[in-house]
Amino acid sequence: MIATRPLRVLLAHPGIDETGARREFPPWGVIFVGQALARSGHVVQVVDWNGEPALETALDRQVIDFRPDILGVTGKWGRAARRAERLFRHAAAHHPAVRRVLGGPLAATLPANATIAALVNAVLPGDGETTLLRWMAAGMPNLRDASPAQDADLGACCLDPAPLFDLRPYVRPAERSDLDVPTLFVSGSRGCVARCSFCYTLAHAPSGLREMPAPLLAHGLRGLYQRYGVTGFYFVDDGLVSRARWRRDFCQELRALDVPLLWGVDLRTAEATSATLGELWQGGCRALYMGFETADDAAHRGMLRKGPTAGGVGGALQRAMAMGFRVRASVVIGWPGESRTAIERTLAAVQAQPGLLVDAFRYNPLPNTPLAAASAPQFGPQHVYTEYGADAPNLSDCSDAYIQSAWERLLALANARNAVAATTLT
């Protein structure tokens, strides 16, 4: 997989903030892609443009200083899509010799009519480490319908990207991680074991979960502790601890380390048995992100295809909180055909769990996901700009006015909860 000559590749995360340059989440996607390209002899520059107001000027500067052959950008729905589009539009108009590539979650869920699709030479879904190298080796052709690559060697990922990228600005007192120690957000896997009908992972990583080898990951965390003094890690992964054997190995590796590390991770409610929770706790896990989605357990098993949860979804959250985990849950209203009664039940269920931190969402139909198969094609070329919030289309059985008021109540609840939690952090 070697291109004819070393190429110069500028890899950018466009970020989501228009100003502020906040450094909270390292752009792991382009970091790992950059590592793979560098290992293959290419010359790489990785930039995080979160909070950069003058994206176009920043790109001009990189083109003059770094002289890239390729501009690769991580694509995600919402503000990130808008910012990626700005970069591609400017590059196409002012630096047409630079080949333009869109990767990341947006590449797997990109509507064919999206404005951004016409501004790039290639759309590469799945693992960028392999898909980008293959595209380069093929002579950088125009390419739209690539199938998602799922063959990156996760044993070659390195959690410390120095000197390619500096993680120091991302070590923070962890407002979002819910760990009370200096924390880094890290990534240790790809894909997910589950098949939820509304989720991008089916399109992005259809073959399921792949983890970094447990000893390598534990060793990587120890290295980050040594270099940056971080004692907390939050995994941004979708399903890192789903497989029992890997989870056991990882927890064992962490217990065997000579440094006390705390960590947090996403956990499916269906997996939150007392035994699994106990195992995670023993391994130093203290914070969990769980998909509550709706209080309607039948919808969980049916429409959402999330599988059965022992004692119901609310029961799983309670179990985890009772053991001492700090739990944050994604709560979604506006599911297709959802009734007012169902939404009120969800709001009441969240209200009834005072210790629960809440991420509030409105359902947004993503193309290439089973639940959106019927609805997604009807939206226009700007659909990729929608957040899972106030501007999401209303596919429920309720009026726009009711959805708006329910959304405001959910947001108020989430903000109040999360503000209280933030003040408890040291």
Give the footprint of ligand SF4 on this chain (CB under 6 A): 192, 194, 196, 199, 201, 238-239, 268, 291
Q: Which is nearest to 224 in space by CA: 49, 366, 31?
A: 31
Q: Which of 52, 69, 85, 238 binds ligand B12 (CB under 6 A)?
A: 238
286 binds, among ligand SF4, ligand B12, none (CB under 5 to 8 A by kind): none
Cβ distance to ligand SF4 smaller for residue 62 or 368:
368
Shortest distance in whole angstroms from residue 278 CB to ligand B12:
25
Restricting to residues 22-41, which ones interact with ligand B12 according to CB under 6 A? 25, 27-30, 32-33
Return the one option of ligand B12, ligand SF4, none that residue 29 interacts with (CB less than 5 to 8 A, by type): ligand B12
Q: Kindly indicate which of the ranges 8-16, 164-172, 249-257, 274-282 contains the residues binding ligand B12, using the contact rule CB under 6 A.
A: 8-16
Q: Does 129 engage in binding with ligand B12 (CB under 6 A)?
A: yes
CA distances from 144 to 111, 112, 118, 349, 389 (A): 11, 9, 10, 44, 29
Distances (CA, A) of 312 to 14, 46, 124, 273: 39, 44, 38, 11
Question: Judged by CB under 6 A, does residue 104 bind ligand B12?
Answer: yes
Is residue 365 within the footprint of ligand B12 (CB under 6 A)?
no
3-state SS of 2-42 is CCCCCCEEEEEECCCCCCCCCCCCCCHHHHHHHHHHHHCCC
Quote the least distance from Cβ 9 to ligand B12, whole Å. Answer: 8
Q: Counting contacts by CB under 6 A, is residue 132 touching ligand B12?
A: yes
CB of 208 to ligand SF4, least distance (A): 10
CA dist., res. 379 & res. 370, Å (int): 16
Q: Which segment (101-109, 273-281, 297-305, 349-357) binds ligand B12 by CB under 6 A?
A: 101-109
Smallest gap from Cβ 65 to ligand B12, in A, equals 20
Residue 239 contact among ligand B12, ligand SF4, none, beta carbon within 5 to 8 Å by kind: ligand SF4
Applying CB under 6 A, among 8, 16, 38, 213 the residue interacting with ligand B12 is 16
**What is the size of the binding site for ligand B12 (CB under 6 A)?**
43
Q: Which of 8, 43, 78, 347 binds ligand B12 (CB under 6 A)?
A: 78
The CA distance from 134 to 272, in Å, is 39
- 8 Å CB contact between 227 and 192: no
- Is 85 a binding residue for ligand B12 by CB under 6 A? The answer is no
The whole-angstrom separation of Cα 332 and Cα 32 is 31
Residue type, 317: L
Determine the straight-line distance between the first and last CA of the chain, rounded to whole angstroms: 48
Q: Which is nearer to ligand B12, 199 or 398 (CB)?
A: 199
Among ligand B12, ligand SF4, none, what binds residue 134 when CB lies within 5 to 8 Å by partner kind? none
From 37-45, 78-86, 158-166, 319-327, give the range in contact with ligand B12 by CB under 6 A: 78-86
| Angle value at C-alpha 360, between 354 and 361, nearest 5 degrees | 150
Q: Is 193 helix (H, G, I), strand (E, B) or coil?
A: coil
Burial class (CB in 10 A: 0-12, 13-18, 19+), 26: buried
Cα–Cα dist 1/135, whole Å? 9
Residues 152-211 that bind ligand B12 (CB under 6 A): 152, 187, 190, 199-200
CA dist., res. 98 & res. 260, Å (int): 47
Q: Which of 39, 49, 37 is nearest to 73 (CA)?
A: 49
Query: Which residues of the chain form contacts with ligand B12 (CB under 6 A)?
Result: 13, 15-16, 25, 27-30, 32-33, 50, 72-74, 76-80, 101, 103-106, 109, 124, 127-129, 131-132, 152, 187, 190, 199-200, 236-238, 366, 387-389
